[in-house]
Amino acid sequence: MHQKLIFTVILAMLSAFCDASDKSDREQAARIVAQIQRADYEGDRATLKQCYDALTPLLENRELASRVRYWRGFDLWRSAINGFNDSVDPNELEQALKQAIDEFKAAIKQDRAFVDAKVGMISCLGYLAYIKRTDSAARQELLEQISPLVKEAKAMAPENPRLCWVLGPILWFQARESGSGPEKLIENYEMGLQHCSNAEQDKNSLEPSWGKPELLMSLAYTYLNGNPPNVEAAESNARNALEIVPYWHYTRDILLPQILAAKARGK
């Protein structure tokens, strides 16, 4: 009886230790994820690289591994997007996107229902297709990989606002090819906004909740580049995005000045 009691106490102590360790890892991961998201908006690719490395030890925590993999993929994906704005060597961007896809695939392997990892893959493959736009065979191969992922993601989570965001470039391409207007693209972004949660995010949650500022930014870009442009709608959406993320380098320092210049020309 005495030995059984000792064994029970030891198990309870081990369980408490594991719970505390998991909580500590989760809090550490959440802090790094917050840094990743800020560095992304700020266009800080050096910090993104540091954050990617900082997440590596947390892969050993099985409970968190799928989300850690996701955020490592997100980190590389957003570093590449920022790299397009900064005219980084396409070979470097291609490598980052391929590595991001590997991270997203690893996240899906650990959690088959993790639709946001598929969302990341769709976008990364799209950017790779853009890089390979002069190589018709390579580009076609990439586009063929995108199609089943889009179908799976739509079946799993058709109202996911982040899915709506990454579908935007696909709809834009389809509209350009068919010679139609941006109506379906705008409708897609507006639908995504309707499904953005207004609930406050748990600071220790590793679940993706981004999307609203990205959708607003994309609406601003779409209205600006319409034929004719709607600069009033473009400015309104850009400013709404900046209300959420006032330090967003692309929207504040690149897109909004373009909108204001177009507005000045219109006057």
pLDDT in tens, 235-248: 999 999 999 999 99
- Say what the pLDDT of residue 46 is: 96
Residue with tokens 């957003």: 78
The CATH fold of domain 38-156: 1.25.40
pLDDT at 177 over 60: yes
For the purposes of burial, counting CB atoms within 10 Å of the CB of 160, is it exposed (0-12), middle (13-18) or buried (19 or more)? buried
For the chain, what are the domain ranges? 38-156, 159-196+209-267
pLDDT in tens, 84-97: 988 889 999 999 99
- Say what the pLDDT of residue 202 is: 67
Mean pLDDT computed over 128-135 = 94
- Say what the pLDDT of residue 158 is: 92
Alpha-carbon span 66 to 75, nearest angstrom: 14
pLDDT in tens, 63-116: 999 999 999 999 999 999 999 988 889 999 999 999 999 999 999 999 999 999
Q: Do domains 38-156 and 159-196+209-267 have the same CATH topology?
A: yes
Is it true that the peptide bond before 158 is cis, omega within 30 degrees of 0? no
pLDDT at 15 over 70: no
The mean pLDDT value of the chain amounts to 91
Higher pLDDT, 180 or 127: 127
What burial letters (b/e) apply to 218-252, b meaning 16+ CB within 10 Å?
bbbbbbbebeebbbebbbbbbebbbeebeebbbbb
- Say what the pLDDT of residue 2 is: 56
What is the pTM (predicted TM-score) of this model?
Answer: 0.89
- Say what the pLDDT of residue 200 is: 62
C-alpha closest to that of 203 among 29, 43, 68: 29
Could you give the angle at which helices 256-266 and 231-244 cross, rounded to 10 degrees?
150
- Say what the pLDDT of residue 198 is: 72
- Tokens describing residue 186: 């705008």
pLDDT at 13 over 90: no
The CATH fold of domain 159-196+209-267: 1.25.40
Mean pLDDT computed over 153-158 = 95
